[in-house]
Amino acid sequence: MNTPIKKEIVDGLIDSLGIQDFAKATIREVKQVAAMAEKQSGVEFIKMEMGIPGLPAAQVGVDAQIKALQDGIAHSYPDIQGYPELKKQASRFVKAFINVDIQPEGCVPVSGSMQGTFASFLTCSQADKKKDTVLFIDPGFPVQKMQLQVQGVKYKTFDVYDFRGEKLGPKLESYLSEGNICAILYSNPNNPAWICLSEEELRTIGSLATKYDTIVMEDLAYFAMDFRQDFSKPFQPPFQPTVAHYTDNYILLISGSKAFSYAGERIGVTCISDKLFHRHYDDLSARYEGLPFGLVFSTRMLYALSSGTSHSAQYAMAAMMRAACDEEYNFRNEVKVYGERARKLKDIFCRHNFYVVYDRDLDQPIADGFYFTIGYPGMTSGELARELMYYGVSAICLITTGSHQEGLRVCTSFIEDHQYAQLEERMQIFQENHKLNEE
């Protein structure tokens, strides 16, 4: 079988790195194999494995951060609660684009949403000794489970593929009724499936969270990036959908990485509902001198983790959020290219017998965005991921995201214009080789 990259090169690299099951290879391992195979073969890889922004950082943030540094901010520790202007602008941003009221005190800067989830897991898992388990509505971001592994916190998970719409409530309740779930986590839009939970599904999650006194952690890493609707007009509908309209037990994780392409500075804001921020849990009070949930999160968890968040990056985030709220900067216009890339890539794959695994949002086709999922008839995730490497295409297996479906996650962020023709040519060879195998 003739392939753009010799099978022996890829197989040898996988063996040399000690990867026993390529279906379970991490993002970093897939990236490493791709880089080494590209170097050895001289064939350019079409890299789809890493969810890194492929666009320039928002200039309004860069300018504000440079000015803050020039003004001498680097010599000062940031307030553990965060730069007051960022807290104010984050509160405005949540109102402008989600239509939710959260006081500035509950908007706490973090070193990216990764730190926000880590500190949230710590706080949620210690709030009530009876509730020691996190529930993931999967598929999801693999590193969040690693965070719980590091903390020694238990988790449960289910693949939402077969439990959309009216099936979601009974499935969630089957876990919540056990009485040990401290938090529910999902991303919306979803990494990797790009499904977007409906208002009815969010209402179901919110009402059950209230009924079973469980905290919902809503990961909004891909804020307003369901490009089927325009969520970029501040203070007017449509708004980014959220569980916050249906419960007071929520934490919103807002990242600067994707919406503002500000991934390198590790900046995000964790927005805790007013009611949850001030809530006293007996177990937290006993452990942390009577402090409420929100102050345990900031003055204990974040203080112990990093003593605050990069001071100058907070100035950048404040400027980006302010400019978005004041309609000086439309972040959606900057990132909608991801949706255009996804549409072109899906067309190429599907022309050559691939299919989209998570292909629908209830009664609608899935949106085009930062990620999508592909499968190939008769092939497992591991077989497909490994074989695509022979064609100079790298992607991660859905199994690593908690999905039970056979297929791969494709990220659109690094695709360059000349690579569409490359992909078309290589997938044509893939299709022909598979015809030969079938014959």
- In a domain, residue 53? The reply is no
Same structural domain for residues 291 and 395?
A: no
Q: If you average pLDDT over residues 92-114, what whole number do you get?
A: 98
Sorting pLDDT into bands at 50, 70 and 90, what band is 438? Answer: low
Indicate if the pLDDT at residue 169 is higher than 80. Answer: yes
Please identify which residue in the block is written with the tokens 């500000």: 262
Rounded Cα distance, 252 and 256, in Å: 13
The share of the chain scoring above pLDDT 90, in percent, equals 94
Rounded Cα distance, 250 and 107, in Å: 12
- In a domain, residue 317? The reply is yes
Question: Are 218 and 179 within 8 A, CB to CB?
Answer: no
Same structural domain for residues 37 and 76?
A: no
Rounded Cα distance, 425 and 417, in Å: 14
Q: pLDDT per residue over 146-163, tens digit each?
A: 999 999 999 999 999 999
CA atoms within 13 A on the CB side of 341: 22
Rounded Cα distance, 40 and 59, in Å: 37
Could you give the C-alpha distances from 175 to 123, 163, 178, 183, 360, in angstroms and in order? Answer: 20, 13, 6, 11, 25
Rounded Cα distance, 24 and 167, in Å: 29
171 burial type by CB count under 10 A (0-12 exposed, 13-18 middle, 19+ buried) = middle
Rounded Cα distance, 352 and 424, in Å: 9
- In a domain, residue 50? The reply is no
Indicate if the pLDDT at residue 251 is higher than 60. Answer: yes
Q: pLDDT per residue over 370-425, tens digit each?
A: 999 999 999 999 999 999 999 999 999 999 999 999 999 999 998 999 999 999 99
- The domain tally of the chain equals 2
pLDDT of residue 174: 98
Q: pLDDT per residue over 199-239, tens digit each?
A: 999 999 999 999 999 999 999 999 999 999 999 999 999 99
Indicate if the pLDDT at residue 249 is higher than 70. Answer: yes
pLDDT of residue 410: 95
pLDDT of residue 420: 96
- Looking up residue 151, the CATH number of its domain turns out to be 3.40.640.10
Same structural domain for residues 278 and 357?
A: no
pLDDT of residue 26: 87
- In a domain, residue 90? The reply is yes
Rounded Cα distance, 314 and 310, in Å: 6
Same structural domain for residues 298 and 340?
A: no
Domain boundary, last residue among 331, 359, 382: 331
Sorting pLDDT into bands at 50, 70 and 90, what band is 436? Answer: low
Question: Are 23 and 397 within 8 A, CB to CB?
Answer: yes
Same structural domain for residues 406 and 292?
A: no
Rounded Cα distance, 108 and 21, in Å: 40
Name which of 358, 431, 423 is nearest 393 in CA terms.
Answer: 423
pLDDT of residue 439: 55
Rounded Cα distance, 368 and 350, in Å: 14
Same structural domain for residues 398 and 308?
A: no
- In a domain, residue 54? The reply is no
Helix, strand, coil shares of the chain, percent, nearest 5, are 50, 15, 40
Find the Cα–Cα–Cα–Cα dihedral 210, 213, 215, 218, rounded to 10°: -20
Domain boundary, last residue among 310, 331, 352: 331
- In a domain, residue 1? The reply is no
* Number of neighbours of residue 436 by Cβ within 10 angstroms: 10
* Mean pLDDT over the full length of the chain: 95
Same structural domain for residues 375 and 403?
A: yes
| Nearby residues of 162 by Cβ (< 8 Å), 6 or more positions away | none
Rounded Cα distance, 403 and 420, in Å: 27
Please identify which residue in the block is written with the tokens 């500035």: 104
Lowest-confidence pick of 50-54, 247-251, 376-380? 50-54
Question: Are 425 and 64 within 8 A, CB to CB?
Answer: no
Q: Using DSSP, state whether 181 is helix, strand or coil.
A: strand
Which ranges of 56-151 would DSSP assign to H, the alpha helix?
59-70, 84-98, 112-127, 142-151
The three-point CA angle 362-346-333 to 5° equals 80
Same structural domain for residues 110 and 134?
A: yes
- In a domain, residue 327? The reply is yes
Same structural domain for residues 99 and 77?
A: yes
Indicate if the pLDDT at residue 437 is higher than 70. Answer: no
- Looking up residue 366, the CATH number of its domain turns out to be 3.90.1150.100
Domain boundary, last residue among 312, 331, 350: 331
Same structural domain for residues 342 and 362?
A: yes
Q: pLDDT per residue over 178-196, tens digit each?
A: 999 999 999 999 999 999 9
Same structural domain for residues 352 and 314?
A: no
- In a domain, residue 2? The reply is no
Q: Using DSSP, state whether 385 is helix, strand or coil.
A: helix
Question: Are 97 and 276 within 8 A, CB to CB?
Answer: no
Please identify which residue in the block is written with the tokens 């009070």: 285
Residue 261's domain comprises: 59-331
Question: Are 423 and 164 within 8 A, CB to CB?
Answer: no
Same structural domain for residues 153 and 284?
A: yes
Tokens at residue 307, please?
Answer: 């003593």
